[in-house]
């Protein structure tokens, strides 16, 4: 049993009414031709009313196989297709109904609606005009007139939208095309045009939705897959870019643009994955040349330049190359001053250089952008403790000894102090240091 979406439920709530009218108007037509066909039609109708669309469809298939000229079977199968959201499959069935019974206005009205949604305005208008000439009932006449008026308005908006696009007025073009697509939701051409408006206005993310829809609405739409892949690539989503370009090549393995882009994104994707794997393994120095290779493969897209800089900052910091880490991280943070990862990496490098105040500032900035990061809290605590310790006089350093050599030095200091009991001032820091330990 097929679960129903909200749109499908809406369609189903509308079509039983049509079926009742249909049965009243054409009662007896489907009887007496073939008992098996009649059985399939009746069973299919009950299943359709119960929302069991797949089962209903199977019965209508069987009815058509048993009687290929039974327009009732085609009409009901079209009804199921529409309830399932398969408008492409419904149109040929409605056309067959009209071929078999030209005066069946319900089928023509329904086909006109679908053609309008596809953006085939001239064909839709032709259907609605024929409805008006075929002695329609009051409801059909009202519907046909309303749709003709709507189609005329859409024709005007469509023309103005295309003209605005050609003139480079993408914002105005988008406004007109938005109006068109409120009705012509399956118009692949207009969706692709609106996508171009989004791209031209610096909103490639919005274009993806229209292009993906266009790739489904229009068979063999390699151009839509290519454009989506290029957008993902520019945005830095190399994995999605690779996925979309593969779809293009499935449709046309010899597509030159798609194949060229496929080679590029495949190489880049492989390099990024290899570099990230090295980082995951803790092999930071080995990862650095891999990122340099990424920049050679793609030097022109800002996202990948920033990625290389950020990850190099991380690798230098983790491999304790503090001077390089500070330099690279600082260059990156000039572009993205609130990047938490880079701030943490630079703070760690500052600690290695005993630049504790700078480290504290970086951790505090990072904390403002991510209050719940445990690493930031721990790093900040560490930097603050180290700063506090550094502000005390380092007597070991003054004496020129390590803490492990303390006992021997203490003996020296105590002996020296004993020989100078009368001194009340200390002439140098070494004497002060000795006093600190005695």
DSSP 311: H
Q: Is the pLDDT of residue 209 over 90?
A: yes
Q: Percent of the chain having pLDDT more than 70?
A: 82
Are residues 316 and 374 located together in one domain of the fold? yes
Are residues 274 and 371 located together in one domain of the fold? yes
Q: pLDDT digit string (tens) for 329-386?
A: 999 999 999 999 999 999 999 999 999 999 999 999 999 998 888 999 999 999 999 9
CA distance 129 to 116: 13
Are residues 371 and 299 located together in one domain of the fold? yes
CA distance 15 to 132: 22
53 within domain boundaries: no
What's the token pair of residue 95? 């056309």
175 within domain boundaries: no
- Domain limits for position 277: 270-393
Q: Is the pLDDT of residue 431 over 60?
A: no
Are residues 429 and 367 located together in one domain of the fold? no
CA distance 186 to 194: 13
Let me know: does 356 contact 347? Beta carbons within 8 Å.
no
Reported confidence tier of residue 391, pLDDT bands at 50, 70, 90: confident
244 within domain boundaries: no
SS (H, E, C) 338-370: CCHHHHHHHHHHHHHCCCHHHHHHHHHHHHHHC
286 within domain boundaries: yes
Let me know: does 131 contact 140? Beta carbons within 8 Å.
yes
119 within domain boundaries: no
Return the axis-axis angle of helices 71-83 and 53-66, rounded to nearest 10°. Answer: 160
Are residues 284 and 358 located together in one domain of the fold? yes
The pLDDT, as a whole number, for residue 407 is: 55
The pLDDT, as a whole number, for residue 35 is: 86
How many other β-carbons are positioned within 10 Å of the β-carbon of residue 374?
7
CA distance 400 to 244: 66
- What residues contact residue 58 under an 8 Å CB cut-off, 6+ apart? 44
Reported confidence tier of residue 13, pLDDT bands at 50, 70, 90: very low
What's the CATH number where 381 sits? 1.25.40.10
Measured in residues, the chain has a length of: 438
Q: How many domains does the chain have?
A: 2
Q: Is the pLDDT of residue 398 over 70?
A: no
Are residues 412 and 366 located together in one domain of the fold? no
Q: Percent of the chain having pLDDT more than 90?
A: 77
The pLDDT, as a whole number, for residue 390 is: 87
153 within domain boundaries: no
Q: Is the pTM of this model over 0.85?
A: no
């Amino acid at each position: 049993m097929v679960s129903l979406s909200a749109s499908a439920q809406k369609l189903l709530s509308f079509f039983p009414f049509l079926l009742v009218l249909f049965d009243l108007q054409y009662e007896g037509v489907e009887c007496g031709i073939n008992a098996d066909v009649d059985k399939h039609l009746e069973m299919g109708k009950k299943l359709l009313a119960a929302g069991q669309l797949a089962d209903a469809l199977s019965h209508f298939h069987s009815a058509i196989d048993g009687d290929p000229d039974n327009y009732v079977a085609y009409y009901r199968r079209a009804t199921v297709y529409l309830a399932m959201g398969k408008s492409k499959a419904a149109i040929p069935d409605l056309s067959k109904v009209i071929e078999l019974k030209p005066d069946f206005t319900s089928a023509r009205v329904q086909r006109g609606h679908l053609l309008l949604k596809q953006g085939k305005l001239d064909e839709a208008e032709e259907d609605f005009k024929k409805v008006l000439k075929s002695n329609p009932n009051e409801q059909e006449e009202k519907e046909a007139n309303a749709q003709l008026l709507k189609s005329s308005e859409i024709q005007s908006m469509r023309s103005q939208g295309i003209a605005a696009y050609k003139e480079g007025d993408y914002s105005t073009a988008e406004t007109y095309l938005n109006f068109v697509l409120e009705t012509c939701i399956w118009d692949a051409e207009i969706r692709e045009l609106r996508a171009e408006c989004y791209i031209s206005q610096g909103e490639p993310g919005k274009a993806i939705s229209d292009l993906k829809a266009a790739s489904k609405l229009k068979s063999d739409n390699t151009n839509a897959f290519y454009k989506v892949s290029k957008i993902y690539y520019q945005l830095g989503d190399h994995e999605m870019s690779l996925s979309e370009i593969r779809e293009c090549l499935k449709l046309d393995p010899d597509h030159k643009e798609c194949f060229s882009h496929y080679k590029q994104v495949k190489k880049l994707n492989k390099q990024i994955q290899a570099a990230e794997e090295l980082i995951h393994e803790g092999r930071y120095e080995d990862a650095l040349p891999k990122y340099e290779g990424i920049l050679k493969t793609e030097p022109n897209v800002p996202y990948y330049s920033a990625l290389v800089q950020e990850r190099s900052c991380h690798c230098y910091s983790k491999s304790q190359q503090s001077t390089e880490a500070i330099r690279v991280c600082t260059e990156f943070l000039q572009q993205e001053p609130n990047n938490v990862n880079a701030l943490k990496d630079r703070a760690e490098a500052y600690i290695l250089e005993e630049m504790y105040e700078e480290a504290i500032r970086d951790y505090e900035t990072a904390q403002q952008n991510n209050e719940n990061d445990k690493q930031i809290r721990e790093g900040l605590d560490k930097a603050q403790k180290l700063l506090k310790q550094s502000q005390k006089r380092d007597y070991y350093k003054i004496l020129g000894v390590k803490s492990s050599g303390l006992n021997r030095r203490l003996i020296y200091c105590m002996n020296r102090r004993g020989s100078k009991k009368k001194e009340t001032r200390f002439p140098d820091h070494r004497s002060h240091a000795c006093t600190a330990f005695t």
